[in-house]
Amino acid sequence: MMRWFVFSAVVLAASTGVARADDDQTMLPPCAMPIAATLADRPGTGRTTSSGGAPCVALPGEWIVETGVRRQVTLDDGGSSTLASGPLTLLRTGVTPRLELAIAPPELQSRAFAGSAPVDAARGATDIVFAAKYLTLDTARAQGSIGVSYSAPTGSGEFTAGAPTFALGANLALAITSRLSFATSQTAGTAVGALANRNRSYFIYTPSYTISYALTANDTLIVQDALVSRQGPELPAGARAIVALQHAIGSRLAIDVDLERNLAPTLGYAASAVGAGIVWIVAPGHPRR
């Protein structure tokens, strides 16, 4: 389930603030006075709570809550399975002008099947995740950060990795025009998968590439292509495409809806998902200088 990449595996755009950077270089950099849309780690987008995050971090003393839901349907020749996930919660706080800490509590997941799908019904919780992100670059045209995460095997049933996992990643977002932006994430870490009737850890590399376009002052279209180097210890690479629409409601609240298509799912089954999420700045922090 790759839950351990919740914070750093795949970055989506630095979003509205980057896409709307104008030609006036005297403007405040996007991360200096962040709004909810520029901070979103994208709950509801991707196959987990978050498929990455904006390079921007929370301000000192700031508290951010993200949550969402996701529903995935996988088809094969004999039937289908449905995986429901939620609430997909992410809690973040700024501790210094450039450093934030975050925690993703276990998320509840349930799976049902129809027809002769080769899976059983299941219910359980994923592993808890702890993470930190450090802002390394903050200008009107570019933002960058590095992040680390650690996932403890606290989940239940088949939804836990069964062993600790780690990830290290770098995020970069660039404003191409006043409306168009590009973002990428390069992340490496460990995962856990079955091999020879036992689980074992293996190395995984996860790059992603994202284009964001500001449709209006409050609406942004996001398109992403993400790649996972291996879906298991001896399984091939997997890829997924995501199309999302984000809407900003003022400076402290943003919502998103998305459609995901797994272009190379494990074992070749066709999989797609829909999701929705919100990001809310519960307590604003101190402006970064």
pLDDT tens-place string over residues 94-152: 999 999 999 999 989 898 888 765 566 889 999 999 999 999 999 888 999 999 999 99
Q: Tell me how many domains the chain contains.
A: 1
pLDDT in tens, 47-92: 343 345 678 899 999 999 999 999 988 877 667 788 888 888 999 9
Name the helix (H) or strand (E) containing 273: strand 270-283
Instruction: Pick the closest to residue 284 from 140, 99, 94 (CA basis).
Output: 94
pLDDT value of position 28: 57
238 domain residue, yes or no:
yes
Q: Is 120 helix (H, G, I), strand (E, B) or coil?
A: coil
CA distance 269 to 3: 20
208 domain residue, yes or no:
yes
CATH of the domain at 188: 2.40.160.40
163 domain residue, yes or no:
yes
51 domain residue, yes or no:
yes
pLDDT in tens, 234-271: 888 888 888 999 999 988 999 999 998 887 666 656 78
pTM of the model: 0.83
CA distance 182 to 174: 5
Provide the residue range defining the domain that includes 25: 3-283
104 domain residue, yes or no:
yes
288 domain residue, yes or no:
no
CA distance 186 to 172: 9
289 domain residue, yes or no:
no
Q: Taking 90 as the threshold, does the pLDDT of residue 161 lie above it?
A: no
108 domain residue, yes or no:
yes
